[in-house]
Amino acid sequence: MNLQDNVSVIKGVGEKKKKLLHNMNVDTIDDLLHIFPRKYEDRRNISYIMEAPFDTETLIKGKVTARQMGRNPYRRNNPLKIKIQDESAGLEVIFFNGRYLANYFSIGAEYTFYGKISLNNGKRQMIHPEFHRLGDKDDIRGILPVYPLTEGITQANMRKLQREAIAAADYTGEWLPDTIVARHNLCSPSYALKNIHFPIDERNIREARFRMIFEELLILETGLSYIKKGASERSGGVRIEEHISVDEFIASLPFELTDGQKKVWQEIQSDLASPKAMNRLVQGDVGSGKTVVAQLAMYKTVKSGYQAVMMAPTELLAKQHYNSMKKDFEPLGLKVDLLCSSLKSKEKQQVIQDLETGETDILVGTHAIIQPDVSFKNLGIVITDEQHRFGVQQRNILAEKGDHPNILVMTATPIPRTLAVILYGDLDISIIDTKPHGRLPIKTYLRYEASRKDIYDFVSEKIREGRQAYVVAPLIEDSDSINCHSAQWVYEWLKKKYPDINTGLVHGGMKQDEKDRVMEDFAAGKIDLLVATVVIEVGIDVANATVMVIENSERFGLAQLHQLRGRVGRGIHQSYCILLSGSEGKIAEERNKILCSSDDGFVIAEEDLKMRGPGEIFGTRQHGLPELNISDLVRHGEILEAAKKESESILNEDAMLESEKYKVLRTKIKKMFGENIRLNL
Ligand code: ADP
Ligand code: MG
């Protein structure tokens, strides 16, 4: 079968399986073969029970000597317990809810079990192992792949599909230039595919994975370099005269700039004065005051006769920026406008028209502003807020609406400098490393379910004092499979227990205008207590809110907890963050200690990295990059660098990727970046 054939050519894949696979983004045989194992099970050798290590997956075999079904009528999941014995020792196998298996195991017969052995009161135990009758057709001796799955497809289904695809696929030959293959000692594509799924030994896995990681990173880097090249062809650049003063704007601010803000503003000013277009990333922790720095740049640009635009990832944030810019800039004679998709088409028409004629000085908006029908008279600066929420290409599309405008991108996600250089390459980096003066550090506490009432009594006391509060929960609605409180549940519970408090609810399942209404009411003080999902994570700024309660805090990553906590502590009152953990334990304590001991996003990100490994925190989504399948930008940093070098020489040789030689690479880039890339093909 051809790699581009639909998966339905595999025997046993009907309409239903096809749909399920589609949910995993699998349509073709090639897609299927690119679902790589998460890990492997080593079932090559059977261990003696006596010698098998504890708490690691192991394969054992044994003869069943006893079998007992629990009979407690008051227990829902009566366990099935089986005693087995090999030449070395005995062990008990337990299946909770095991009634359906009671007749599978016969006394005296031999079975293999794959699972972890633990010790319970001095007795060896295996809970819920995988099992086979010794020697039956599925009792495999070998290395077995373990795949990521979707509901409705079992591990056995997936292994079978992969086996069939591997056996019948027409593999494409080598598509990378020989020089690259030789330089990096890559195995062939067909060897890589076969061995990543069904390896014989560890060496096969290593070689196959290396090829796949290299491939993926090469495709990523070539795509990124291609996009960047497009960006750097726009040199030239808008130049802003140095003598233009921003003093009136600074004087109109109700506060003094912090040292960090001043330093970054200096860096931006020298970029603006240079004939080369500015390309700068401003990193600053939540609450460090990035917006005002962006406003300075906008103000100076507008005073030089240009227009300025700021793009934000959510409508909520765009509206908030719009409102504060209107307040700050209109008294100084600037016209500020808002463009987002919820505007009525007539309003939209007006906004677009004023923009074209140059009547509007500053435009704030969402993705709506990169649409083709939006054009500027004289665009001088492009700012993207919370850059990590945007695709790499979107910033460029926006920039193309002007003649080499200056570019400023802002993010609160701390990225180690080495990684930033690879990801953003052409960007200069500024860091706001201070917090506004006079802020009291946020007090952070870890509490458990038993303190629920005390916590909310405390919240209601603060509300009585005139403050506002947030409660964040991990889910929108209760779920059978996930055991934690949902925003809906917390909201109803609070309404019942604290009827006097004005409580609101906002979550991602609500319509945009409903969400906006609730958020606006909260900002206006009409709602005192806002129950939310993480939709409030980005950018919200309500200085009167001083308490943040995080329900089931164990379900959030450290960096995310830090972002959420950053929603309070923005005013003059003492603020509090209460982590209400659903599970007690070392990890909860550990994470709490880190959060309590630091309010520095960089430090917390470092700690997060240590605790969780790089894979999760540097997820590519956070940086607006395409989803990666097998590689990890941090763990595979060296391969990334090698791939970057190769990608540069590829583009030097063939800037448009037009030659036959790079045809496959070109298709693969298109596939990885999807809508996010316009290869002129
Ligand atoms: P972020 O970096 O998270 O985007 P913002 O720009 O929203 O932070 O700023 C957070 C809050 O701090 C805003 O209410 C802003 O008005 C205020 N702020 C910014 N700079 C200063 C400063 N130098 N002194 C006091 N308050 C400031
Ligand atoms: Mg912000």
HEC per residue, 267-334: HHHHHHHCCCCCEEEEEECCCCCHHHHHHHHHHHHHHCCCEEEEECCCHHHHHHHHHHHHHHHHHHCC
284 lines ligand 1 (CB under 6 A): yes
CA of 312 to the centre of ligand 2 (A): 9
Report the b/e string of 395-427 with b at 16+ CB within 10 A.
bbbbbbbbbbbbbbbbbbbbbeeebbebbbbeb
Q: 3-state class of 675 per DSSP?
A: helix
At 616 the pLDDT is 43
Residue with CA at minimum distance from ligand 1 atom 16:
289
- Count of positions (residues) in the chain: 681
- If one residue of 321, 541, 563 were mutated to test the ligand 1 pocket, choosing by the most ligand atoms within 8 A of its CB, it would be 541
- If one residue of 250, 252, 255, 565 were mutated to test the ligand 1 pocket, choosing by the most ligand atoms within 8 A of its CB, it would be 255
Contacts of 57 (CB under 8 A, 6+ apart): 41, 42, 114, 115, 116
On whether the CB atoms of residues 408 and 385 are closer than 8 A, the answer is no
CA 423 to chain centre: 15
CA of 223 to the centre of ligand 2 (A): 29
289 lines ligand 1 (CB under 6 A): yes
Which tokens go with 219?
């495709």
Contacts of 326 (CB under 8 A, 6+ apart): 336
Report the b/e string of 179-204 with b at 16+ CB within 10 A.
ebbeebebbebeebbbbbbbbeeeeb
What is the biggest distance separating any 2 CA atoms in the chain, rounded to whole angstroms?
93
Taking residue 171's Cβ as centre, other Cβ atoms within 10 Å add up to 14
CA of 57 to the centre of ligand 2 (A): 46
Contacts of 376 (CB under 8 A, 6+ apart): 307, 309, 355, 356, 358, 363, 401, 402
**Ligand 1: which atom is nearest the Cα of residue 385?**
4
- If one residue of 570, 575, 599 were mutated to test the ligand 1 pocket, choosing by the most ligand atoms within 8 A of its CB, it would be 570
Residue with CA at minimum distance from ligand 1 atom 9:
289
Ligand nearest to the CA of 563: 1
Helical residues (DSSP H) of 154-258, grouped into ranges:
155-168, 178-184, 189-197, 202-232, 247-252
On whether the CB atoms of residues 349 and 371 are closer than 8 A, the answer is no
One-letter amino acid identity for 41?
E
Residue with tokens 């890339």: 677
CA of 322 to the centre of ligand 1 (A): 15
Number of alpha carbons in the 13 Å side-chain half-sphere of residue 84: 28
290 lines ligand 1 (CB under 6 A): yes
CA of 246 to the centre of ligand 1 (A): 18
How do 57-69 and 123-127 pair as beta strands?
A: unpaired
260 lines ligand 1 (CB under 6 A): no
On whether the CB atoms of residues 28 and 5 are closer than 8 A, the answer is yes
**Ligand 1: which atom is nearest the Cα of residue 292?**
6
287 lines ligand 1 (CB under 6 A): yes
The whole-angstrom separation of Cα 331 and Cα 609 is: 46
Which DSSP letter does residue 110 get?
Answer: E
The whole-angstrom separation of Cα 239 and Cα 412 is: 28
CA of 366 to the centre of ligand 2 (A): 14
CA of 365 to the centre of ligand 2 (A): 14
570 lines ligand 1 (CB under 6 A): yes
How do 503-506 and 529-532 pair as beta strands?
A: parallel
Residue with CA at minimum distance from ligand 1 atom 19:
289
Which DSSP letter does residue 98 get?
Answer: G
286 lines ligand 1 (CB under 6 A): yes
Supply the angle between the helices 202-232 and 189-197 in degrees, to the nearest 10: 120
As a whole number of Å, the end-to-end CA separation of the chain is 28
The whole-angstrom separation of Cα 18 and Cα 565 is: 43
Contacts of 610 (CB under 8 A, 6+ apart): none
At 376 the pLDDT is 95
Q: What is the CA radius of gyration of the chain?
A: 29
**DSSP letters spanning 600-645:** -HHHHHHHHHHHH-HHHHT-GGGGTPPPPSS--TTTTHHHHHHHHH
Sign of CA dihedral 33, 7, 24, 671: positive
At 276 the pLDDT is 81
Give the angle subtended at the CA of 563 by the CAs of 562 and 567, to the nearest 5°: 110
At 624 the pLDDT is 60
CA of 279 to the centre of ligand 2 (A): 19
On whether the CB atoms of residues 268 and 430 are closer than 8 A, the answer is yes
Give the angle subtended at the CA of 240 by the CAs of 236 and 242, to the nearest 5°: 130
The whole-angstrom separation of Cα 181 and Cα 198 is: 23
Q: What is the mean pLDDT of each run of 10 residues along the chain (681 residues)?
A: 91 91 91 93 93 92 92 76 95 87 91 93 91 87 90 90 92 92 96 96 95 95 80 66 91 94 96 87 88 96 96 86 94 96 92 96 94 93 80 75 89 68 70 85 91 96 96 84 84 95 92 84 93 75 92 85 88 92 77 81 72 47 69 81 91 90 92 70 39
Contacts of 327 (CB under 8 A, 6+ apart): none
Of 652, 676, 639, 633, the C-alpha closest to 218 is 639
Sign of CA dihedral 547, 563, 339, 530: negative
Ligand nearest to the CA of 318: 2
Ligand nearest to the CA of 387: 2
At 191 the pLDDT is 96
At 619 the pLDDT is 46
> Which strand ranges, in their side-by-side order, compose the sheet holding 379-384?
336-339, 362-365, 307-311, 379-384, 406-411, 279-284, 428-432
The whole-angstrom separation of Cα 386 and Cα 276 is: 24
On whether the CB atoms of residues 568 and 585 are closer than 8 A, the answer is no
The whole-angstrom separation of Cα 215 and Cα 172 is: 14
Of 494, 505, 489, the C-alpha closest to 456 is 494
**Ligand 1: which atom is nearest the Cα of residue 261?**
23
436 lines ligand 1 (CB under 6 A): yes
The whole-angstrom separation of Cα 259 and Cα 289 is: 11
The whole-angstrom separation of Cα 195 and Cα 116 is: 26
pLDDT in tens, 10-47: 988 999 999 999 988 899 999 999 999 988 999 999 99
Taking residue 606's Cβ as centre, other Cβ atoms within 10 Å add up to 17
CA of 539 to the centre of ligand 2 (A): 5
On whether the CB atoms of residues 473 and 490 are closer than 8 A, the answer is yes
Report the b/e string of 4-30 with b at 16+ CB within 10 A.
ebebeebeebeeebeebbeebebbbbb
On whether the CB atoms of residues 180 and 645 are closer than 8 A, the answer is no
At 195 the pLDDT is 96
Report the b/e string of 573-602 with b at 16+ CB within 10 A.
bebbbbbbbbeeeeebeebbebbbeebebe
CA of 139 to the centre of ligand 1 (A): 63
CA of 291 to the centre of ligand 1 (A): 7
**Ligand 1: which atom is nearest the Cα of residue 566?**
3
- If one residue of 292, 293, 433 were mutated to test the ligand 1 pocket, choosing by the most ligand atoms within 8 A of its CB, it would be 292
572 lines ligand 1 (CB under 6 A): no
- pTM for the predicted model, two decimal places: 0.66
Q: 3-state class of 368 per DSSP?
A: helix
Residue with CA at minimum distance from ligand 1 atom 17:
289
Number of alpha carbons in the 13 Å side-chain half-sphere of residue 63: 7
